[in-house]
Structure 1
Amino acid sequence: MSDPLALGLPMRVRAEGLPERVTIWEVGARDGLQAEAVSLEPARRAELVRRLAAAGASVIEAGSFVRADRVPQMAGSDAVLRELADVEARLPVLTPNLRGLDDALAAGAREVAVFLSATESFSEANLGAPKARSEAAAEAVVRAAVERGVRVRGYVSMVFGDPWEGAVEAAPTVELAQRLLDWGVDEVSLGDTIGVGTPGAVRALVDALQEGGVPVEQLGLHLHDTYGQALANVLAGLQAGVTVFDSAVAGTGGCPFARSATGNLATEDLVWMLDGLGIEHGIDLPALAGTGAWLSDALGRATTSRVAKALAGGREAR
């Protein structure tokens, strides 16, 4: 039998009580790139999505229909979607308002997402509006999308901590998740936007949401690795029954509106851990690592993925 480590793969040891399969929600082409200093033109962003789909990613955020002066890295998301009309993966896009929804649907979007904050300060910094106004705009988008048969995801950011307000209790996140489900979203993604969450906090929040009537089957975790806790938090989520995890190839991104927030959890690192636990997800690690290397070269910066660095070092050693 071949040694898995020699092949650049982890040992597989199943742990009791964990899901057999999860969905990796790849956010590198949207949430990752929007926080990078280098902007990639639509054709290269479309190529990134194609490479990720070829590596086995089944859900890939393809863009964001926001004002170009707010997030210039996402300009031309309509061109990206049109270029990807033949790609079979799910390609959700962010649509903050009704105009963004109309533009996204005109470009061929079949899934959209809205973005809200658990805190007032971040809502004003990120969305440029108080929570009440942001939520009213999001509700309008969700209800309009649902009427048209379009699947919607709801993001809730700052669920554990806010750089202006400090630690965040579970209650505002529970209330916002309940509201999103009432409007008609299919799934709520819990965003540890500045990466301050720990495993105990993850479990407590998931438990609080379930007690509040939000099924774990409709939850996802969006984790940043600012304090090195992202994979530990994934494990806590798995133990709580979560089966959807957001990550970004090469650990791209961060948050342009949150001070000191480092990049998203690297998809390569997530895949390595899931492979080691024997949890299916559909992504080929060597192909993914190759895509991460290609993207890092395009951005002119090193990957933040520890797994990608280790695999590259192993190849060089051989």
Structure 2
Amino acid sequence: MSARKVTFVEVGPRDGLQNEKTIISTADKLELIRRSIAAGARRIEVSSFVNPKRVPQMADAEDVCAGLPQTDEVSFIGLVLNAKGAERAIATGRLHELGAVCVSTDSFSIANQGQTSDESVVAAKAIVTMAKAAGLRGQATIGASFGCPFEGEVSEDRVVAMAAALAEAGPIEVALADTIGVADPAHVSRLVRRVVEAVSPLPVRVHFHNTRGTGIANVWAAVEAGASVVDAALGGLGGCPFAPGAAGNVSSEDVIYMLHRAGVETGMDLAQLIEANRWLSGVMSRALPSMVVKAPPFPKTVQE
């Protein structure tokens, strides 16, 4: 076991909601952020600064930022895909981190960002540089690290090379995203170990979707392999508008339950997450995909 403590990133307000067809109100997004903070989240992806015509759910990015609580205890993250998005995010004056994204294959990168894979790496490095110039932190994620919806298998060597290139820009971490949920624990273990070695001493973050039911196992494999930062979304919501078949993120509640039972510290409060899940289910008018909230509490003190 490589880590007894991981940093948890709540991505529900952005990745959890971005694919929902029913527009969620700005007030409810801010309430989701508030409840995430109450549950212990200290890094939260609050919105993305993308074309609202392509991702209507994120059209209120500036309004969400304007309503963020004033606190020095939480790092608010804005996802950006290009310089224009970065400029918008910086202009809010309310964010602490910019999250840049590049993509492992040309086909998906063109669908997602209108540029080739190599061009997306250059753009991501530029965004990290912009963030630092503005006094913010920059992070970089490699989308479709474990497989592409258009091209299929992705070379591990390709992903490792991209990670090393991103590290040159000095981000706070490099993240591997299983955007379409095709990874398996063996693949995760191999790739995370290689990327940890390639970008050391930078931390490696992981982002898994549970499209095929392997998400929670992949989180565990990643942590064992040296990943020290883990993304998840409250309730297991999520998906990508430009990745056919992509399903929800791993659930925050399920990830925290697993890690806490295994003795890994996260700083999160499971009981508060379960309560937030019930609130969010009401907002969404449906039960959410996460499993822990559907099971009896164990141990029973978890909800006392």
Aligning the two structures, in what range does the TM-score lie when normalised by the shorter sequence? over 0.9
Once the two structures are superposed, the pairs formed by residues 165-314 of structure 1 within 5 Å of their partners are: 165-211=151-197, 213-215=198-200, 217-311=202-296
Aligned to 2:206, the other structure's residue is in SS state strand
Counterpart in 2 of 1:21?
Answer: 5
Deviation at 1:216, TM superposition (A): 6.8
Q: Is the 8 A contact 1:94 1:113 kept in 2?
A: yes
Q: Is the 8 A contact 2:193 2:226 kept in 1?
A: no
Q: TM-score, structure 1 length as denominator?
A: 0.89
Q: Is the 8 A contact 2:196 2:227 kept in 1?
A: no
Q: Is the 8 A contact 1:248 1:265 kept in 2?
A: yes
Deviation at 1:181, TM superposition (A): 1.1
Counterpart in 2 of 1:111?
Answer: 97
Distance 2:284 2:296 in 1: 20
Distance 1:210 1:21 in 2: 16
Q: Deviations over 1:73-132 (max 9, x none)?
A: 011111111211414311111122222222212212121111110111110111122223
Pick aligned residue for 2:115 from 113, 119, 129: 129
Q: Is the 8 A contact 1:112 1:152 kept in 2?
A: yes
Residue type of the alignment partner of 2:96: R
Aligned to 1:92, the other structure's residue is in SS state strand
Deviation at 1:199, TM superposition (A): 1.0
Aligned to 2:238, the other structure's residue is in SS state coil
Deviation at 1:217, TM superposition (A): 4.8
Residue type of the alignment partner of 2:222: G
When residues 21 and 93 of structure 1 are mapped into structure 2, their CA distance, relative to the original with a 3 A threshold, is same
Deviation at 1:149, TM superposition (A): 2.5
Q: TM-score, structure 2 length as denominator?
A: 0.93
Number of aligned positions between the proteins: 298
Distance 1:208 1:80 in 2: 37
Q: Deviations over 1:281-311 (max 9, x none)?
A: 1111111111112112212222100111114
Counterpart in 1 of 2:82?
Answer: 97
Deviation at 1:18, TM superposition (A): 4.3
Query: Gapped runs of 5+ residues in structure 1?
Result: 1-16
Distance 1:217 1:138 in 2: 16
Pick aligned residue for 2:43 from 29, 46, 59: 59
Residue type of the alignment partner of 2:247: T
Distance 1:233 1:95 in 2: 26
What CA RMSD, in Å, does the superposition of the two structures yield over aligned residues? 1.9
When residues 282 and 111 of structure 1 are mapped into structure 2, their CA distance, relative to the original with a 3 A threshold, is same
Distance 2:288 2:201 in 1: 32
Counterpart in 1 of 2:31?
Answer: 47
Pick aligned residue for 1:147 from 123, 133, 138: 133
Deviation at 1:138, TM superposition (A): 2.5
Distance 2:192 2:149 in 1: 22
Query: Gapped runs of 5+ residues in structure 2?
Result: none
Q: Is the 8 A contact 1:117 1:131 kept in 2?
A: yes
- Higher deviation after alignment, 132-141 or 157-166: 132-141
Distance 2:74 2:209 in 1: 24
Q: Deviations over 1:27-77 (max 9, x none)?
A: 100011001122212221111101110111111101111111111101111
Counterpart in 1 of 2:124?
Answer: 138
Deviation at 1:188, TM superposition (A): 1.1
Distance 2:291 2:135 in 1: 40
Residue type of the alignment partner of 2:18: Q
Q: Is the 8 A contact 1:206 1:216 kept in 2?
A: no
- Percent identical among aligned pairs is 41
Aligned to 1:62, the other structure's residue is in SS state strand
Residue type of the alignment partner of 1:260: G
Residue type of the alignment partner of 1:50: R
- Higher deviation after alignment, 221-230 or 126-135: 126-135
